[in-house]
């Protein structure tokens, strides 16, 4: 089976069966989504969602977060991974939003990555989720699933992103990002992939070749 055939079959199945796929992070504004995505680095969405309501209430705007004490912010996110560094990033991000972007979260990934705590993945999440930009954020789930399915043989996040972007139509990329994340989170998991119950296994390169994904 060719890579093109895999893309066609997999994307068609997702488009028919996961039309409502979207981020599982809770948010009520672009600014708050940016906070949530920064907090979600090496942390589960579920844990982040447990704490963001209070965080959003305390820091409703870039101005309120920019003027906050970093130690206070760290205390508010102490149950989330790496609270000290994330607190510095959050306050720095808010200050830069005010100083460089008039308090508005930019839509261009090349501008977003200038913000403290915002890497390429985070920038692409914001750009695709909020602004529907034709980009794909490659996190650990997307990286793992794309390689297992045979959608990419890239050995780096950048290489996988390039393959996915080059093979998925622009208008489909924002949705495809969520399809692959959710598939990796609930079906094609890191240690115990549910291959026998997987609806797209017929197009999966690892399943076709009998690869033991749990050891990959």
Q: 2-16 b/e with 16+ CB inside 10 Å = b? A: eeeebbebbbeebee
| Nearest partner of 147 among 17, 3, 1, judged by Cα | 3
**63: number of CA atoms within 13 Å, CB side?**
1
213 pLDDT tier (thresholds 50, 70, 90): confident
d(CA 114, CA 136): 18
Integer angstrom CA distances of residue 170 from 42, 58, 176, 209: 28, 37, 10, 30
| Mean pLDDT for the chain overall | 93
Quick check: 81 and 46 in contact, CB under 8 A? no
Integer angstrom CA distances of residue 162 from 138, 158, 172: 10, 6, 15
Active site residues: 121, 139
216 pLDDT tier (thresholds 50, 70, 90): low
What are the residue ranges of helices labelled H in the chain?
Answer: 3-17, 30-39, 45-58, 62-66, 70-76, 83-101, 109-112, 120-129, 140-149, 157-167, 173-186, 205-209
d(CA 104, CA 96): 10
Its pTM stands at 0.90
> For residue range 152-192, what is the model confidence (pLDDT) as tens digits?
999 999 999 999 999 999 999 999 999 999 999 999 999 88
pLDDT at 209: 87
pLDDT at 215: 59
d(CA 188, CA 138): 15
- Show the tokens assigned to 10: 């997999």
pLDDT at 214: 63
Distance from the Cα of residue 190 to its chain's centroid = 16
């Amino acid at each position: 089976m060719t890579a093109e055939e895999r893309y066609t079959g997999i994307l068609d199945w997702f488009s028919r069966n996961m039309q409502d796929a979207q981020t599982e992070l809770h948010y009520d504004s672009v600014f708050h989504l940016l906070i949530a995505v920064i907090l979600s680095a090496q942390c589960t969405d579920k844990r982040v969602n447990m704490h963001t309501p209070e965080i959003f209430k305390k820091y409703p705007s870039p101005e309120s977060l920019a003027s906050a004490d970093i130690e206070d912010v760290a205390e508010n996110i102490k149950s989330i991974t790496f609270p000290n560094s994330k607190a510095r990033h959050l306050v720095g991000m808010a200050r830069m939003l005010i100083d460089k972007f008039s308090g508005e979260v930019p839509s261009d990934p090349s501008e977003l990555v200038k913000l403290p705590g915002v890497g390429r993945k985070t920038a692409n999440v914001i750009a695709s989720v909020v602004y529907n930009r034709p980009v794909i954020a490659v996190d650990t789930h997307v990286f793992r699933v794309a390689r297992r399915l045979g959608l990419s043989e890239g050995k780096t996040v950048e290489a996988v992103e390039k393959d996915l972007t080059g093979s998925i139509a622009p208008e489909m990329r924002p949705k495809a990002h969520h399809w692959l994340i959710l598939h990796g989170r609930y079906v094609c998991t890191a240690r115990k992939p549910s291959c026998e119950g997987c609806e797209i296994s017929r197009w999966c390169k690892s399943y076709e070749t009998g690869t033991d994904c749990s050891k990959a």
